[in-house]
Amino acid sequence: MLEIKDLNVHYGKVHAVKGVSLTVNKGEVVSLLGANGAGKSTILKTICGLKNASSGTIALNEKNILHVKPYKLVKEGLGYVPEGRKIYPLLTVKENLLSGAYHRHDRSEIASDLERIYELFPILKTKESVLAGNLSGGQQQMVAMGRAIMTRPQFLILDEPSMGLAPSVVAQIFDIIKTLQNLGLTMLLVEQNAFTALTIANRAYVLETGQMALEGTAEELRNNSQVREIYLGM
Ligand SMILES: Nc1ncnc2c1ncn2[C@@H]1O[C@H](COP(=O)(O)OP(=O)(O)OP(=O)(O)O)[C@@H](O)[C@H]1O
Ligand SMILES: [Mg+2]
């Protein structure tokens, strides 16, 4: 479904992503792990058309998407939950969620998708008219995920959805990710919480200073001594 080959990305002279290749097959949840500054978010932004690549290829459903504009990628079924949530603080919860459907015209379907999101995140229904900036971090993360689901993605990219959240909220966010997985959604998940990511994901990649260091099934990586020491703290 997603195939990245030999991707290089620079910020000026900083070579942030160095010859990275990565594949996500339909129906899979693939996790991308790595320390701070490894280049995880840069890869995600490049997939979403928010950052230019220096070289390499990115294909979504066998179609080259390297120079496709972000708003067009949304129409191609690419959903993105950015690092730090990036919700609209001065819009209500409902307005934030509906912003994910700005490109859609199927009004009755939009209404039923909104109800589905309220089923996934019941707390958001009760906060429908609250300004999103007034929500807790966990609730804001739910809004960010709900907004991405409103785009009706076939492929969902999540950048550190559990960052900065209390453990009980982290568990809730991962439960939602599992629900989406069971619904058949293909996902690429960037996480610092490697332990949980490796319990959910089918496969994973480990990025070190812009380069792919390891890849394997989640089970292989859970049993890898390097991963256990550095990322699982064992
Ligand atoms: N806007 C920018 N301008 C210059 N350098 C940047 C910029 N954004 C990221 N970088 C650099 O690119 C490299 C990769 O950053 P990136 O944000 O992709 O890492 P990350 O793996 O997502 O880290 P984190 O876990 O902290 O989110 C780092 O060296 C970072 O300093
Ligand atoms: Mg990041």
- Determine phi and psi for 229, rounding to 5 degrees: -75, -50
* Confidence (pLDDT) at 105: 85
Look at residue 211 in the predicted model and tell me its pLDDT.
Answer: 96
Ligand 1 centroid, distance to 55 Cα (angstroms): 18
Distances (CA, A) of 192 to 25, 170, 203: 22, 12, 15
How many whole angstroms separate alpha carbon 44 and alpha carbon 94?
Answer: 26
What are phi and psi for residue 187, nearest 5 degrees? -140, 145
- The runs of H, that is alpha helices, within 1-154 are 40-47, 70-75, 93-99, 107-120, 122-126, 137-150
Measured by CA distance, the residue closest to atom 18 of ligand 1 is: 39
How far does the centroid of ligand 1 lie from the alpha carbon of residue 34, in Å?
A: 12
Is the Cβ–Cβ distance between 186 and 17 less than 8 Å? no
For the chain, list residues with pLDDT below 70.
234
Pair of tokens at residue 54: 């220096």
Predicted TM-score (pTM) of this structure: 0.93
pLDDT for res 9: 97
pLDDT digits (tens, 9 = 90+) for 46-78: 999 999 999 999 999 999 999 899 989 998 999
Which residues line ligand 1 at a C-beta cut-off of 6 Å?
11, 14, 16, 34, 36-42, 83
Q: Which atom belonging to ligand 1 lies closest to the Cα atom of 160?
A: 27
Best of 11, 47, 86 to mutate for ligand 1, by most ligand atoms within 8 A of CB? 11
